[in-house]
Structure 1
Amino acid sequence: MIYKNRFGAEQNNMMNKILIVILTLLAGLSFAQTTLFEQEPNNDPYTVNQINAPVIILGEMQNSDQDMFVWEVTDVDAGYFWDIKFKGIADKLTKMDVMQLTFTEDGSGVTKVDELFSIKNLNGEVMAQSGLIFSPGRYYFGLSYAGGQNTTKSTLLDDTMLSDLGADFVAENEAIDAIKIKPQNSYQIDISQGKKQHILTAKNNSQDNPVSLKKGQQRGLFFEQQKQWITFNIDATETEQVWKIDGAVNIGEKLQLNLFNAQGQKIATTQSNALGRFNLANLKLPVGDYLIGLSSQTNALSRLEIFSEGEYIAGHEAEPNDDFSTANHFSIEQSVQATIGKDKDKDYFKFEIDEAQISSHYELKLSNLKQSKIQLCLYTSNRHKLQCKTSHQDIVLSQLSLSAGEYMVAVTDGELDNQYVLALINTGPQANMMEAEPNDDFSESQFMGQKRIVKGRFNEKETDYFVFEVNQEDQVWTIQAIGEAINGLALYNAANQNVQSVRFNRGTKRARLAQLNLQPGKHYVELKGENSAYILRAFPTGPVDQSFETEPNDDLASSQPMEFNQAKRGLLQSNEDVDVYRFHLNNEQGINLSIQPAQDADINYNLYWENMLVGKKNGQLGEQLRFRGTLPAGSYRVELKAGKNPSDDIYQLEINPVNLADCQHDCEPNDSAHQANVINPSIHVAGEVATHGDDDWYQIPAFTTKTTVTFQSDTADIKHDLNGYINYDQKLTPEFNPDKNQLSFVVPANQASYYKIDQRAANYDYRVLINHQAIEAPKQYNNIQLSINNVPKKLQAYSPYAQLIEAQLSVKNTGRQAQQLTFKAEVNDFRWKIDFADKTAEFNVNANETVSIPVVI
């Protein structure tokens, strides 16, 4: 890579990107990792973005853009090992060069470029380098890219799978291909801090006075005299093992390693590579003492480890290989015959993939010769499980796309004397669009291509994970999978939290998550199925329509707001889908909530006030649902769910205010004493119980004297249909008059009474008498004016402590007569309480008088 234009004066004119720094705590580590979004211009050493590691760098390159970052490695940083992960741009060759620069004395030009190492990334996969050592100094990271998939031509043109499914699928795919999609041109660099280096004490170190190093223990070395001498021993129990001497020196430094036997003969030698790495592998050493001589050109810092690699095999396994440390080595295209030597025996193997082999797909195959139960598992070198399968048949882990490094294989749970053959086969170059295993876990999600499309196959019952990026706002997206046997489709965010999911009947050919309002960033897809090929793709379907629901909206956190007289439209395409809407009432309000499903659908709804259910109904096919009632001030949510008949057609939801005076009888919700309707002055109550799966409750305000309240019915026996209460739950003793079909309750003075009409009453119509008289209509006070004063403009809305607000209620009587008034206070949040300072709510206000009443909120 040549950085000619990096060192010139010309700068990229792209719009500046926002630089955001987010601190996140990494579990189990004591330092904070920073996430940095690159800021343009950063095309050369003069506009470079400064970074401090550990850090995650997120960036994007468009057209001929290049990006550059600089890391100032301190003395403290140099005392740790470092790991670098680099994910390039999908479907393009992305390159990261790490270099050191020498500038002119005045800093206006670059006189020397020392390119230390490069990491190339072909298709957006993650490339990793670990255990790196950096000396103090400034390190420049240069990013560039080239090539890319042709996005103007259908990637599924003439696909036989689409043709087999039918003409509708072919036409649908062509329509999706015509959608113009903004390319995914983002990359990510993760520089993470590893373990602290533990330096071996090596006073007066020389060939005659070497320092001893315990096998299997990694240690750091500081070259005071540019030479180090290390000794170790091989005993009689270790001669059948294969040994490896592995280490690294500061990046940019050169190191020579020589291995001597006890007679002083040099038996092996190696040098460090561009990354500072060096190793001597495949060592079969006889009993004796050995000497390692390390030579550096400078006072470098190095790490060194001597460890057993198990045994290299050809054709047959070699026992013992019953744990990771004694795993047998085998090579690509080499088969290994093995036998379960004891019941529940465990056999471990390992193989390596080098840089030249990462562009191929591989197949790990276990031929189960006795067709008895056995398990095959693939692990990374640090024992992270990638994929496992158990079967009585042959087992194949196919479509494996493996980065450079060492991998472990475990064969377990086999029966005694079960024979098997293990082989790793190169199945050819990786292809665009094709699924690459392992991707059976969220952490192993495969990046989808530029057109956000992938073809894959389920082997038996399987789950595959994919990730794609959204880099444009205000777009609605659809995620769709087609195949012969799709069982589930789910969307996750980058925190591995389920955003939207749908389960399907076995054998579903099309699975879809539609109307997704996805924000810029990474989005993860989980696809479930069995024994079939599939095509998965994500695509935008147009700008966000504010009147149409957008997913996810399955809970209160993702619910969509509603306003009066503004209809919402949406889809409930499966029995698993739930749509949630929210609204707020500042005051007590009569509302009319209507839900019109598609003609071929039925919808069930629940209406909540805070967390209290205040309305519900399960609808019939095509039935319009209504909730008409009086609601107190507060926050509400409406949950809609498909009944027995989901539909691909649209439903409509609307909420409108209604005049409280229009609600003469049975105003829902009135299914508890706390929500009881005040009995209307029309001297009778009428309604229908169980319309919302509840009883109906009514309230009669307190009287100053003991009062008899009587209910009378001319249509049905009233004896068992009605109960009276005070204090919400203290039952009153009824008195039944069978001749007049009346039920009476004696209510103590100054007590409001509550009446529950049982669901058995069905349709009811009762006359209400007070002391055997009809209810008098309450007086209307048109000449009373109210206002509240001394309320602070700012409230501690999120204070963790209780608040106390002292205010003044101003009451003005503009009439000609004195008035005896009783006040009732309402709030729009159940956590607020209002009290009158003198503990009474009754006040006398003379004609043309203004009274100030203290209230405490």
Structure 2
Amino acid sequence: MVQEIEFNGSFAEAQVLNRTVIINGSIKDNSDEDFYRLKPAGTERAFVQLTLESTADMQIEIYDFDQKLIKTIDDAVVEKNSMSREEIRNLYIGGEHIAIRVTAKNACTYKLVVVFSPVKEFAEREPNDMFETATRLEPMTNTEGYYLPAGDPTRENRSEADYYYFENPTDIMGMFSISLSAMPGVDTALALFDGSREQIAVIDNGAAGAREELRQFLFPPESRYYLAVINKNRKTSALPYQLAFSTQRYDEKNENEPNDRKERAKEAAYNDSVQGKYDYHGDVDIYKMIVIENEGANVHIAVSAVERADPVLRITDMFDRDILGINNGGAGEGEAVPNLFLPQGIYYFYLNTTNRFFSCDRRYTFTAESLGKRSDAEWEMNDSPEKANRLMPGGTAMRGYIGWDGDKDYYRISVDDASTTLSIEALPPSNIDVVLRLYKGTALALTADRNGKGRNEAVEHTLDKGVWYLEVSSKEQYNPKNPYRIVTAVGSPK
């Protein structure tokens, strides 16, 4: 136990501390201040833990060698007749001394505990609560850090954040993953920033006491990222958290986060699949498809099921115009768009979940299968007369899908000469209650809706010269996996 020296009220008169010590000090009034200079004996580098205890409302200010303020610690909740505590761990001293200034709002006595310890190579280095003082992360290591100070919930802007940075100095594309260990009672989040300090992701999956993770983010050559470990509820812990940082080679079969913007979209090729994950709540994965064929392409799009995830698929063109939105299934189901026709151009597929689901382990598969040119299948989007597919009376049976809730398929029938008697039969899958409607232009001519699920519906009508439309729909059912069939037969003309 050491008593503070008198007349330590300025930087020039600061009391030098170079070893582990407990200081008994006093503040005479709110204008009094005590200065200490921290400089480890026999070494140029050290970690210092500072603990300040008092019954008064006190604060510690930390200054660098040039007397520039680098951190203020004033977060303890002060209650009457009880001891308050200000604390910082892993305060880094690297070759030059650090000064601290102790003040209080009223006269008091205090106890200042100063603990010097060797520098750990893989540990946060306080102060690291801003980009400029971020601690470096090394690949394939676990870095220790502390959720300190505790913070006063009644004060604004007092949440604790530790900043880290990491770099890919090579010319090789890679990927990185980060895992933050769980800490009882502490509610954490991770914020990821690119080299220009623009925020690109917030990972806030778990409640208090849960871990946070992000996996397989893209790590371009000669790139830098920043990471903020945020203590949301300002709970403290004497135990350190563990921040695991790992890298791996680029894998073109993975989505490669961040792909939550068009300019970062993962390109998907025909007859290929990409694996991805719903990494955090609100995560959006964007895939890009380039159709180079002059005649366009017919594709089948599918997203596999992940237990407890309720996926939503949205498709747009390069001008952000919506083509289709799919949200058929519930939790634990996949989504699919059968027989989608895409003219020449660039298209984007946005994938996310409607429920608060995330998984660092379970992966989905995004597949784009080329179907080739076929005259016996519908091509979406044929959901209006203007987009109707051609139907040849008496020709090959047509195959189509009620691919999502509310899907309607339109077929165009042209009668060029004499009137034609045409019979049309729809053969649906077992879960579809199919409905047929026949139009002459925009005028409804006939409806077939007599049977139930899995039962055929049929119409027979004499079609005079002109353009007719057949509408195929269902009663609140859909089946993107199993098609219906349309069979036509031509009778004798009148």
Question: If the length of structure 1 is used for normalisation, what is the TM-score?
Answer: 0.40
Q: CA deviation at 1:591?
A: 0.5
Match of 2:154 in 1: none
Match of 1:484 in 2: 183
Matched, 1:608 2:315: yes
1:386, 1:438 within 8 Å by CA — same for their partners in 2? no
Give the AA of the match of 1:681. Answer: M
Match of 1:592 in 2: 300
Pick aligned residue for 1:641 from 337, 352, 358: 352
Structure of greater relative contact order (alpha carbons < 8 Å, 6+ residues apart): 2
Match of 2:342 in 1: 631
Pick aligned residue for 1:493 from 162, 179, 194: 194
1:329, 1:350 within 8 Å by CA — same for their partners in 2? no
Q: CA deviation at 1:328?
A: 12
1:367, 1:422 within 8 Å by CA — same for their partners in 2? yes
For 1:668-709, what per-residue CA distance to the aligned partner results, in whole angstroms no more than 9, with x for missing partners?
3345677x33342358998665x435543637599999x9xx
Matched, 1:467 2:158: no
Report the identity percentage.
16
Question: If the length of structure 2 is used for normalisation, what is the TM-score?
Answer: 0.65
Match of 1:801 in 2: none
Q: CA deviation at 1:713?
A: 9.4
Alpha-carbon spacing, 1:687–1:628, altered in 2? closer, same or farther (3 Å): closer
SS of corresponding position for 2:204: strand
Match of 1:12 in 2: none
Q: Distance in 2 between matches of 1:677 and 1:482?
A: 55
Alignment of 1:808-823 (within 5 A): none
Q: CA deviation at 1:449?
A: 5.5
SS of corresponding position for 1:494: coil
Q: Distance in 2 between matches of 1:559 and 1:739?
A: 44
Tell me the C-alpha RMSD between the 2 structures: 5.4
Match of 1:401 in 2: 92
Matched, 1:546 2:252: yes
Matched, 1:427 2:139: no
SS of corresponding position for 2:315: strand
Alpha-carbon spacing, 1:633–1:494, altered in 2? closer, same or farther (3 Å): same
Match of 1:654 in 2: 367
Matched, 1:698 2:384: no
Q: Distance in 1 between matches of 2:182 and 2:142?
A: 14
Q: Distance in 2 between matches of 1:680 and 1:438?
A: 72
Q: CA deviation at 1:438?
A: 1.6
5+ long unaligned stretches in structure 2: 18-22, 79-83, 151-158, 428-432, 451-457
Q: Distance in 2 between matches of 1:753 and 1:385?
A: 77
2:37, 2:100 within 8 Å by CA — same for their partners in 1? no
Q: CA deviation at 1:445?
A: 0.9
For 1:426-469, what per-residue CA distance to the aligned partner results, in whole angstroms no more than 9, with x for missing partners?
42144122322222223321123586542122134632111233
Q: CA deviation at 1:329?
A: 7.8
Q: Distance in 2 between matches of 1:621 and 1:713?
A: 35
Give the AA of the match of 1:495. Answer: S
Alignment of 1:90-489 (within 5 A): 331=15, 335-337=25-27, 351=35, 359-369=45-55, 389-392=75-78, 393-401=84-92, 404=96, 426-432=114-120, 433-448=122-137, 452-459=141-148, 460=150, 462-472=160-170, 473-485=172-184, 487-489=188-190
1:615, 1:692 within 8 Å by CA — same for their partners in 2? no
For 1:726-779, what per-residue CA distance to the aligned partner results, in whole angstroms no more than 9, with x for missing partners?
9xxxxx67678999999x9xxxx9xx999987875657999999xxx99x9xxx
For 1:446-502, what per-residue CA distance to the aligned partner results, in whole angstroms no more than 9, with x for missing partners?
123586542122134632111233233233333233343473234322211234442
Give the AA of the match of 2:347. Answer: Y
Alpha-carbon spacing, 1:738–1:544, altered in 2? closer, same or farther (3 Å): closer
Q: Distance in 1 between matches of 2:412 and 2:391?
A: 9
For 1:272-301, what per-residue CA distance to the aligned partner results, in whole angstroms no more than 9, with x for missing partners?
xxxxxxxxxxxxxxxxxxxxxxxxxxxxxx
SS of corresponding position for 1:557: helix
Give the AA of the match of 2:169. Answer: N
1:361, 1:426 within 8 Å by CA — same for their partners in 2? no
Give the AA of the match of 1:546. Answer: E
Q: Distance in 2 between matches of 1:468 and 1:383?
A: 26
Q: CA deviation at 1:369?
A: 1.0
Q: Distance in 1 between matches of 2:426 and 2:416?
A: 30
Alignment of 1:37-52 (within 5 A): none
Q: Distance in 1 between matches of 2:404 and 2:282?
A: 23
Q: CA deviation at 1:634?
A: 1.9
Q: CA deviation at 1:348?
A: 9.0
Q: Distance in 2 between matches of 1:723 and 1:443?
A: 70
2:182, 2:210 within 8 Å by CA — same for their partners in 1? yes
Match of 1:214 in 2: none
SS of corresponding position for 2:269: coil
Q: Distance in 2 between matches of 1:498 and 1:702?
A: 56
Q: CA deviation at 1:583?
A: 0.9
Alignment of 1:504-543 (within 5 A): 504-508=205-209, 510-519=211-220, 520-529=222-231, 530=235, 531=237, 532-541=239-248, 543=249
Give the AA of the match of 2:247. Answer: P
Give the AA of the match of 1:591. Answer: V
Give the AA of the match of 2:337. Answer: F
Alpha-carbon spacing, 1:672–1:471, altered in 2? closer, same or farther (3 Å): farther
Give the AA of the match of 2:361. Answer: D
Q: Distance in 1 between matches of 2:447 and 2:223?
A: 72
Q: Distance in 2 between matches of 1:659 and 1:450?
A: 45
Q: Distance in 2 between matches of 1:465 and 1:452?
A: 16
Match of 1:669 in 2: 381
Q: CA deviation at 1:366?
A: 4.5
1:489, 1:502 within 8 Å by CA — same for their partners in 2? yes
Q: Distance in 2 between matches of 1:594 and 1:680?
A: 26
Match of 1:166 in 2: none
Pick aligned residue for 2:327 from 617, 634, 647: 617
SS of corresponding position for 1:484: coil
Alpha-carbon spacing, 1:534–1:761, altered in 2? closer, same or farther (3 Å): closer
SS of corresponding position for 1:443: helix
Give the AA of the match of 2:53. Answer: S
Alpha-carbon spacing, 1:736–1:697, altered in 2? closer, same or farther (3 Å): closer
2:190, 2:203 within 8 Å by CA — same for their partners in 1? yes
Match of 1:819 in 2: none
Quick check: which has more Rg, 1 or 2? 1
Q: Distance in 2 between matches of 1:601 and 1:427?
A: 49
Alpha-carbon spacing, 1:714–1:547, altered in 2? closer, same or farther (3 Å): closer
Q: Distance in 2 between matches of 1:385 and 1:759?
A: 66
Alpha-carbon spacing, 1:383–1:755, altered in 2? closer, same or farther (3 Å): farther
1:353, 1:406 within 8 Å by CA — same for their partners in 2? yes
SS of corresponding position for 2:128: coil
Q: Distance in 1 between matches of 2:407 and 2:119?
A: 65
Give the AA of the match of 1:658. Answer: L
Q: CA deviation at 1:593?
A: 1.7
